[in-house]
Each structure stands twice: as C-alpha cells, then as structure tokens.
Amino acid sequence: MSDIKFLDDLAKHFEKLPSVGKKTAERYAYHIVEKLSLEDVQSFAESLIKTKEATKHCTICGMLSDQDVCPICSSNYRTKEQIMVVKDTKDVLAIEKTNQYNGLYHVLGGLISPLDGISPDELNIDSLEKRLDNTKEVILATSFTPNGETTALYLEKILAKDGLIISRIGYGLPAGGDIEYVDELTLKRAIDSRKINQKEN
C-alpha cells in the first residue's frame, strides 16, 4: 500500500497516535478514502476540531472536561471529604469504571521525573494544597513506577498536616504498571485495601 504515495500525507497524521505504526496508519488512510463517504469524513473532521476546541482542564481538579468545572467536581452526590490524586484523566476514567469510589479527584498532569527534568513545579500540585480545607483523606493513586513512587512520597511529605489522612492504593497493583491498564477487579481491591501512611491525629 505504501506505493500509493498520495496517501502518505494522510497516513502521517495517524502515525502520531498511540499504538499506530506505519502499516496501520496506511491502512487507516486507505480505508478513509476508499470506504468512507464524503459526509462521514466531513463529520469526522468536524468532530475532531469541535472536540479539541471545546476541551479544557477543570479549574478545580485539572481533569479534561468540556466545562470550566467538571461534572465530578460539581456533583452533589460525591463525598467532598476524599480526594484521590492521579496522574491524568485516563486514570480517572479507569477508577470511575470500578464504581468503587465516590469522592473527588485531583489530576496532576504527569509525574515527578528527575530524569526527564519534570519537577513538582510543572505539575498541578499548588492547587491541590489549596483545596484541602474540607478534606479528610487524600488517596495517592499514582502508579508503582519509580516516578509514581517519587511523586507519592513527595506529596505525602508536603501534604502532611494534623487531622489529614494520607493513604496509598496498592494491594495487587503490578509494579511498574500504569493504572489505566489495570483490570477493574484489581483496581477495586487496590482502592479497598489502601494503606494509610499517616494516622489521623
């Protein structure tokens, strides 16, 4: 298929997506021009632009949303006493699927990574410290990778204060694995059996 040169430009766009190699990108490009109607392609293109333009970060928790304040932060049915700290919006979606957690979230937008030069200043941490007034428990749900552990230890240290419980989800989570790839049952157990690092005073 690679000798259909005029498709290369389109295929290159697909190669920017995760898990899409050159071959798959060429197949997508071919499928679009050969199989989809012009209406379908127009609607796809419009949807890409519309969704991208409408997406922002929730001003409270930092997760992706099409509103200034996301539906989780603005919900009256969620307990405001717990905040679960995660790396990104994909982790929120994975944990929401378990139906095991009814508190709020805080999305860091990455993990502390000395090797990649990502320091705490570049993450959404300041706003976490500022929203803890009514919080009883902060649940650290970063992955068991070196960066996930570094981030959890850092947060544990700077958030420590009287009366605030800081816990870490963990049991059964694979070392080195990303939260988003963990199956629902394992995640459920990990949330249930979270370990409290700091006793309530």
Q: By CB under 5 A, name the binding residues for Zn ion.
A: 58, 60-61, 70, 73
- DSSP code of residue 142: -
99: alpha, beta or left? (left if phi > 0; alpha if psi -120 to 50)? left
CB of 199 to Zn ion, least distance (A): 29
Q: How far apart are CA 41 and CA 151, in angstroms?
A: 42
| 58 vs 123 by CB, closer to Zn ion | 58
Could you tell me if 85 and 128 are in contact, meaning their C-beta atoms sit under 8 angstroms apart? yes
| 70 vs 111 by CB, closer to Zn ion | 70
CB of 15 to Zn ion, least distance (A): 32
CB of 26 to Zn ion, least distance (A): 39
CB of 131 to Zn ion, least distance (A): 10
CB of 79 to Zn ion, least distance (A): 14
| 105 vs 144 by CB, closer to Zn ion | 105
| 133 vs 162 by CB, closer to Zn ion | 133
Q: How far apart are CA 60 and CA 70, in angstroms?
A: 8
How far, in whole angstroms, is CA 24 from its chain's centroid? 26
Helix, strand, coil % over all residues of the chain, rounded to 5: 45, 15, 40
Q: How far apart are CA 194 and CA 169, in angstroms?
A: 4
SS3 51: helix
| 22 vs 80 by CB, closer to Zn ion | 80
Q: 28, 8, 10: which is closest to 19 by C-alpha? A: 28
Structure tokens at 30: 């071919």
| 89 vs 147 by CB, closer to Zn ion | 89
CB of 58 to Zn ion, least distance (A): 3
